[in-house]
Structure 1
Amino acid sequence: MPWINSSDKAKSVVSDTITIREKISTVMTLAWPAIVENTLQTLVGFVDTLFVSKLGLAEVSAVGITQRILELYFAVFMAIGVGSTALIARYIGANQIEQARRVAKQSILLASWVGIVFGIATLFFAEPILQMMGAEPAVLHQGTIYFRVVAVPSLFISLTFILGSLLRGTGDTVSPMKAGLWMNGVHIALDYLLIFGLGPLPGFGIAGAAAATVLARVFGLWLLIRSLRRTRLGKEWPQGWKPDRQVLRSITGIGTPAAIERLIMRFGQVLYFGLILALGTYTFAAHQIAGNIETFSYLPGYGFAVAATTLVGQQLGAKRIKEALTYGYISVLLAIAFMGAIGIFLYFGGEWAAHYFTKESTVIHQVGVALKIDAFTQIPLAVVLVLTGALNGAGDTKWPMISTAVGIWVVRVVGVYGLGIALGWGLAGVWLAILLDNLWRALFLGWRFYSCRWAAKNADSP
């Protein structure tokens, strides 16, 4: 019987007798651990930056540039996870557990190969990559150390992404949350210890920060392996590790558009960030501060996207298209409620929050204007995040890719230039362009999900 989570209290999500209230409860059960997990990761990122900032500006820049590069790595690892989650959820919904096990093992093999390739590439090309990113000599040395220590063992990063995705595909969002909690706690403790030292133990500076990150990931990976082994996917673990081209093609077929979507987003950000820089240092600083404050508004959307991915995939596997639609719509409405509430705070509290980042009145005012506009972006953004997750769960990853390509490279880039620069609206024009981008994508993805063409596309699959 398909399950919401992998515990002994697991509950079917394909019953005809489930009420709307129970469906809302099901969505919340899946979403809240993902929200907590993402919140923890965001908070740890702040703490990590705070510790490294005590070493100097060169170290902060080195970590910042490396993180931008690693985001490209993450895009590929996450894309494998998207393909894995969609297929696992579908087979779980169809009660084809053996097929789900096959997908799990092939996903782990694929993630291992990709992680090793990225690690080898980092070992030999870390310095040239950082030079290509524009790292100055003072930053290059520190950045090369940090980049190699963190990314040569990319195998651990890749497997962490994939095992978390496999568990979410079964409906278990609690185990990845718990692993993330312990991993982040260990990361913070090791960060302080290995960067600054304690008593007779010397500190290792930026190399210590990198080592703390790797050790925390290894610990988190161990916890995820334990969790996966306790599920039905973890049965018959020693067998079935021979590469299966058919399954690998299915995973990459779903995951490739998801990877392209994320890469389109990253490269598009580089382009429109360059346009914002042309508006001046204060304006760019205000944009960065507004973005940092806004970061927390995404977290509920990502959590409900995880729920939509799992539930739509499971219902599709069970051939219950109406139920898949219902779970998708419920996830969207709940995300709108949460993110709409955050939008109210952004509208009225944006300038207040900006005071914690700067004392420059001009910048604070611009942040306030940007976040007032962003308050109206929260509802379309909630739709975009959740429906992207829902379509990913259905294996229909091409359409989110198309919406992002048009949204980022046409609506947002043209909007930033036209409204922000040509019309002279400055940062207000930039954030209006972001609003228009999200409105376009919300309408486009809403049409695609409502059309149910994703269901017809997968009619012959489990």
Structure 2
Amino acid sequence: MNLDRDFYQQMLHIAIPIAIQNLIVSSLNTLDTVMISTLGSATIAGVGLANQVFFFLMMICFGIGTGSSVLISQYHGRRDYFNVKRTNGLATILAMFVSLIFTVVALFWPKQVIGLMIQDPQVITEGAKYLSVVALSYIITGFNFANGISLRSTGNAQSPLHASIISFVFNAFFNYVLIFGKFGFPRMGVVGAAMGTIIARLAEMAVLIYLSKRYNGPLNGKLKDMLAFDRPFFDKYMRITSPVIVNETFWALGQVLYSVAYAIVGTEATAAIQVVVAIQNIAFVLIRGLSNSCSIMLGNSIGQGEMDKIYTYALRFLKLGLMIGTIIGLFLCLTPSLTLSVFGNLEPEVNLIAHGLLRVMGIIFIFKGFNSILIVGVLRGGGDTKKSMILEMSSVWLVGVPLAFLGAAILKLPIYYVVIMAGMEEITKIILGMRRVFSKEWIHELV
């Protein structure tokens, strides 16, 4: 009984702040989509494709952060705060370096980048306008992302949450005044949306630094502690985290290629996909909270040597993920009109396509949510980074991406069937992933 109470108390303590923070972050993207929905399908599609570049970057940073989280949670479980600090320092440097590369590419070649995903000249123009400005926020976001994950891995989920709340307020206000030209500001359209994002990320960074310093936890320390990693430590870090980084990089590239496949179907289909993905991201916040909570709790238990809890915890998280994913997925599937009512100014054809897509993605959501717990929570939380990489990459690149292009480019199917074919990757993950879970070979002590 104590195990039950301790489990749910610890799970809620970690999962709820993370879920709320993810809700705020996802709401930022949805807010952008809602506000620019008045500017037409070409603008929605252009900004959506430009955000695929940001998504690609964030998934690489997520890989860096999640990889470091595996180490930090185990170091934290052992109260080894020196290694907690230098792991965070190395993760932050890597995230900002990758962000710098993306910034340079997006600043100097925005049209070429958007042109890789779609051929519509109007969509390319609108997307390039947005991308060339919003790229200035990438380095800041890399810093925020790495440090936010590190703080949560030490049990401080409140500071990243508070920083995200401030970011949301800034983004909502400046998006409104800069997109539509309110309170004496010029009407800037998609460029205004990008400027609002930059201001919001700066505010988030300032609050995160302030709260990190104020929070008397294991990440507090001098800069030299954060940079105290040597070659053996770097090699150990890369040996453990590189599978996660490679995994997220190629998974994200696969998601970008899905967008390319969807763009083959047409501009309206691409715009509808962006709307539905924005809704799906909000619906996914509870699953993300559970996934991160699972990873942290399993990592801490391994670090503390509590091996008897790990398998029990893993199965409980998987059951919770299936239950919550089913409830949310069915809600999306059964209430498309209610959900899309937020986007009151969508073009009729985009609105019609989005209705059908929500029904399809609602069913896929059930499997996607379960797999998030399975891979991000259980396998990575248990330190099984290499096998989880193989599982995810093979599902995306050998199943999902080929089927998506088969449906869009060769069979010329409607967008709904292309999305269903891409969703077959989720079935593959469940079959292969659960075999790994039942084997119990995924539990690894890394530190």
Counterpart residue identity of residue 400, structure 2: R
Corresponding residue SS for 1:233:
coil
Aligned residue number for residue 106 of structure 1 = 90
The structural deviation recorded for 1:156 is: 0.4
- Residue 239, structure 1, aligned to residue 227, structure 2: no
Counterpart position of 1:344: 330
Alignment gaps of 5+ in structure 2: none
Alignment check: 8 A CA contact 2:45 2:274 kept: no
Q: Is 1:404 matched up with 2:392?
A: yes
Which SS does the other structure have where 1:239 is aligned?
helix
Q: Match for residue 67 of structure 1?
A: 51
Query: What is the match of residue 372 of structure 2?
Result: 385
**Counterpart-to-counterpart distance in 1, 2:107 and 2:265:** 38
1:448 aligns to what?
A: 436
Matched, 1:124 2:108: yes
Q: Deviations over 1:248-296 (max 9, x none)?
A: 3344334433333334334434555566667788877776666555444
Aligned equivalents of 1:380 and 1:263: distance in 2?
21
Match of 1:307 in 2: 293
Compared with structure 1, are the counterparts of its residues 83 and 246 closer, same or farther at alpha carbon in structure 2 (3 Å cutoff)?
A: farther
* Residue 234 to residue 348, structure 1, CA distance change in 2 (3 Å): closer
Distance 1:50 1:260, change over 3 A: same
CA distance in 1, matches of 2:113, 2:275: 27
CA distance in 1, matches of 2:438, 2:362: 26
How far off is 1:400 after superposition? 2.6
Indicate which of 246, 253, 259 corresponds to 1:260: 246
Equivalent residue, structure 1, for 2:165: 181
Shift of 1:428: 6.5
Asked if the contact 2:14/2:293 (under 8 Å) is kept, the reply is yes
- From the superposition, tell whether residues 363 and 425 of structure 1 become closer, same or farther in structure 2 (CA, over 3 Å): farther
Alpha-carbon shift at residue 122 of structure 1 (Å) = 3.5
Q: Considering only CA atoms, is the larger Rg found in Structure 1 or Structure 2?
A: 1
Question: What secondary structure sits across from 1:19 in the alignment?
Answer: helix
Q: Return the offset for 1:453.
A: 2.2
Question: Counterpart in 1 of 2:99?
Answer: 115
Q: TM-score, normalised by structure 1?
A: 0.81
CA displacement, residues 52-76 of structure 1 (integer Å, 9 cap, x when unaligned): 3445665444422321112221122
Rounded to whole Å, the distance in 1 between the matches of 2:353 and 2:37 is: 26
For residues 393-452 of structure 1, give each alpha carbon's deviation from its aligned partner in whole angstroms, at most 9, with x where no partner exists. Answer: 333222232222232233334655788999999666545545543232123222223323
Mapped partners of 1:299, 1:326: distance in 2: 24
> Mean Cα displacement is larger for which, 295-304 or 163-172?
295-304
Aligned residue identity for 2:441: R
Kept in 2, the 8 Å contact 1:261–1:401? The answer is yes
Equivalent position of 1:12 in the other structure: none
The aligned residue for residue 19 of structure 2 is 35
Q: Which amino acid aligns with 1:445?
A: G
The offset of 1:204, in angstroms, is: 3.8
Structure 1 residues 381 and 142 mapped into 2: Cα distance closer, same or farther (>3 Å)?
closer
SS, match of residue 194 in structure 1 = helix
Aligned partners of 2:59, 2:207: CA distance in 1, in Å?
Answer: 23
- Report the Cα offset of residue 385 of structure 1: 0.4
The Cα shift of 1:144 comes to 4.0
Percent identical across equivalent pairs? 24
Q: How many residues align?
A: 442
Q: How big is the alpha-carbon RMSD for the aligned residues of Structure 1 and Structure 2?
A: 3.6
- Give the counterpart of 1:155 among 132, 139, 150: 139
Q: Which residue of 2 aligns with 1:320?
A: 306
SS of aligned partner of 2:222:
coil
Alpha-carbon spacing, 1:145–1:436, altered in 2? closer, same or farther (3 Å): closer
**In the TM superposition, what is the alpha-carbon distance from 1:318 to its structure 2 partner?**
1.6
In 2, Cα distance between equivalents of 1:138 and 1:285: 13
Which residue identity lines up with residue 217 of structure 1 in the other structure? Answer: R
Task: Give the gaps of 5 or more residues in structure 1.
Answer: 1-16
More displaced, 271-280 or 322-331?
271-280
Say if 1:284 and 1:251 are closer, same or farther in 2 by CA, change over 3 A.
same
